[in-house]
Amino acid sequence: MTTEKQLNMQDSQVKPIDETRPTAPVIHVSPSPHLAQSTTSTRRMMVDVLVALVPVVAMSLFVFRGYALFQLAVCLGGSLAAELLFVKMRGRPSTLKDFSAIVTGIILAMSLPGTAPWYVGLIAAFVAVGIGKIIFGGLGMNLFNPAMVGRAFVMISFAGALAASGFEDVRSAVDAVSQATPMNAYKMNGVVAPLAHLFWGTTNGSLGETSALACLLGGLYLIVRRTVSWEIPAGLLLAVLVIGGVADLAGPADGWTVLHHILGGSLLFGAFFIATDPVTSPLTPRGKFIFGLGVGMLIMLLRLFSGYPEGVMFAVLLMNAVTPLINRWAIPVPFGEQ
């Protein structure tokens, strides 16, 4: 009987499983489960983020033209080079194919002003990927959002380039860049930008943050694809709504409303693309919601009471630091103990 022969062949003829055209069964064993969902992979998640970034990048190219292209090139190149270099220094196999360096590079570029000099973007990219991620042990091991680590570093080291004035270039032919950022115009001079400008994104600011619409589109895609969990943006927006609403009622009626808080600055970009980084946010739905609330509260605290016009970056970094604690608090109650 052929089958019996085939069955007996397995002992003597074990060959690698990836033979192109099998002629006889080769039986391998492995622990259960023996099925895996073929549609999910870490790389697929990264590709989802890249797809979601398309409207944001497109809008930044439309508004900031050459500035955006330049900053993207610098940050992407820097991220990829840093990934290669640092992974090599750790003596590990290349991790470029997980696409996470590309995601970090683009998010970093989108969080910088287009006017920042080349060395600022490059150093930010090296710090983001090298110090922010690889040194911690690579993808999945870092405590802090890599892009934000890089941005925070250059914000402090090159204060001028990332201060309010760093965003402006009055001689520029690109409209947006010749104005002050709406956040700063308000903080310094009480000038309130029209909501429509904030919504469409025709204002000055970091490259990816200006268009609320683009951030919403990308964010919704990520949520629908379940690449990010809705709990983080929901908690974040809820906190901003509540605190901004209270500030509206309690503060001076100067025209800057909770809606300006939501549509202005990097709030939506942060809510959908930065705070949602799975590696540096909690694991459970409840933990994610708490994390979102915390980020939203810190953003409002910084915006309302600190000297900075914006607070997304520091808020995310601070909440990243307490993520292990939140994970500890938010251990779900198992089925059977509810």
Partner 1 sequence: MGLKLEGYAGSGTFAHGIHPSDHKALSKDAAIRVMPTPDTVVLSLHQNIGGPCEPLVKSRQAVVWGELIGKGSSFVSSTLHASVPGIVQRPMRVTLANGRHMDTLPIKTQGEVPSDRELWDEIFGGDWPTTGLEAYEPALISRDINDGGLVGLGGAAFPTHVKITPSDKKPIHTLIVNGCECEPYLTSDYRLMLEAPAPIITGALLAGRSVGAKRIVIGVEDNKMPAIEVLRKATDGTGIRIAVVKTKYPQGSEKHLIQAVIKRQVPLGGLPSDVGVAMSNVGTMAAVARAVIHKKPLTHRIISVTGGGIAEPSNVLAPIGVSFGELVDFCGGLRPDAARMVAGGPMMGFAFANPNTPVTKGTSGLTVMTRDEVKAGEETACVRCGKCVDVCPMKLVPTKIAMASRHRDISLSRRYNIMACFECGSCAYTCPARIPLVQLIRAGKALVAAAGRS
215: left (phi over 0), alpha (psi -120 to 50) or beta: alpha
Q: How far is the CB of 27 from partner 1 (least distance, A)?
A: 5
CB 153 → partner 1: shortest distance, Å? Answer: 23
Q: Are 311 and 302 in contact (CB under 8 A)?
A: yes
- What is the DSSP annotation of 265-285? TTHHHIIIIITT-GGGS-SSH
* CB nearer partner 1, residue 44 or residue 90: 44
Under the rule (CB under 8 A), what is the footprint of partner 1?
A: 1-4, 6-8, 10, 17-18, 22-37, 40-42, 44-45, 98, 138-141, 226-227, 229, 278-279, 281, 283-285, 288, 327, 331-338
Closest CB 96 distance from partner 1, rounded Å:
13
**Tokens at 210, concatenated:** 């200006």
**Do 145 and 291 touch, CB atoms closer than 8 A?**
no
Q: From the CB of 300, what's the least distance to partner 1, in Å?
A: 26
Per-residue tokens: 77: 């190149």
Rounded alpha-carbon distances, angstroms, from residue 212 to 117, 174, 203, 267, 334: 25, 20, 11, 9, 39
At closest approach, how far in Å is the CB of 287 from partner 1? 9
Residues in the chain, overall count: 338
Closest to partner 1 by CB, 258 or 274: 274
CA separation for the pair 216, 194 (Å, rounded): 18
Residue closer to partner 1 by CB (options 132, 201) is 132
Q: Which is nearer to partner 1, 15 or 159 (CB)?
A: 15
* Minimum CB distance to partner 1, residue 141 (Å): 7
Of 20 and 189, nearer to partner 1 (C-beta) is 20
Collapse the DSSP code of 171 into the 3-class scheme (helix H, G, I; strand E, B; otherwise coil) and give the result.
coil
With respect to partner 1, which residue has the nearer C-beta, 7 or 89?
7
